[in-house]
A = this chain, B = another copy of it.
Amino acid sequence: MQTYLDCIPCFVRQALEAARMATSDEKIHEAVLRGVLNMAGRMPMDQSPPVMGRRIHRLIRELCDDADPYRAVKERFNRAALALYPQCRARVEEADDPLETAVRLAIAGNVIDFGALSDLDEKVISASITQALDAELFGDLGRFREALQRAGRILYLGDNCGEIVFDRLLIEQLLPREVTFVVRGRPVINDVTMTDAEMSGMTKLVPVIDNGSDIPGTVLAECAPQFRDRFRQADLVIAKGQGNYETLSDEDYPIVFLFKAKCPVIARHIGCETGRLVIQGPS
């Protein structure tokens, strides 16, 4: 997906919010803002929005002199999600259709997105779960079920901290198929890294690899060769979150996208309203 003009004011707003979450130093807030204005003034519109996201977050990390400025807040959301895990797992086990309930909860977890939501807290996660259990899905769960019947090797691309705990619920339903979970290669905003895969219990459930990149999405050309091989060999890729959709929606692979449509530009791109639970593909 290309970058739209409406993404630009959003980049600027997100950069300021992210800088404030990373440090209380107002000089750094201003430097981040000016840096992002200059970058955005020259950015090519044919690249996907997460490529700009990488540049913004590299600048924040550099100016903060901190390789992982959101570590504490990422751990907070991992813990909050882990506290909800037992009751969510019980919901899946008691459900008439455990796979559907697990899909809904995995999408509900996608609300934990620092880029899209500025007023995120534990209450927002609980509300997202309640909404996700009843809301109409935008897309075809049947097509996902069919794809699963033929899929021996599944690559599951994670998205955010906290959310990864809800991904466990869905992956538990996919076993005993061969599932590999993928995290980002380095910290970028609140995206999952190997540390979060360990903290969330994911590493005890399935093999976890990293993609070698610090883009908050999956730009194949920028990922490690080993990851690209795994991507091409997979029978089915499950891609969580808006960033993975923005970077992979034009790729010709068997991918199913699961996310909450938080951004109006993405919602318009796929033809749904903002706030919908999206399941798209595989094509």
Contact = CB atoms under 8 A, between A and B. Distances in A.
Interface residues of A, number: 18
The oligomer's copy count stands at: 2
A190 to B, nearest CB: 20
Interface in A152-178: none
Nearest to A41: B37
Contact of A5 (B5, B29, B38): B29
Interface string A17-32: 0000000001001100
Given A37-B40, A38-B37, A40-B37, A30 B45 contact: yes
Contacts of A38: 37-38, 41
A41 B45 contact: no
- State the majority secondary structure of interface residues on A: helix
Contact of A16 (B8, B13, B37): B8
B12 A16 contact: no
A9 B5 contact: no
Contacts of A41: 34, 37-38, 41
Contacts of A278: none
Top-10 shortest CB links A-B: A37-B41, A9-B13, A9-B12, A38-B41, A37-B37, A37-B40, A12-B12, A34-B41, A8-B33, A5-B29
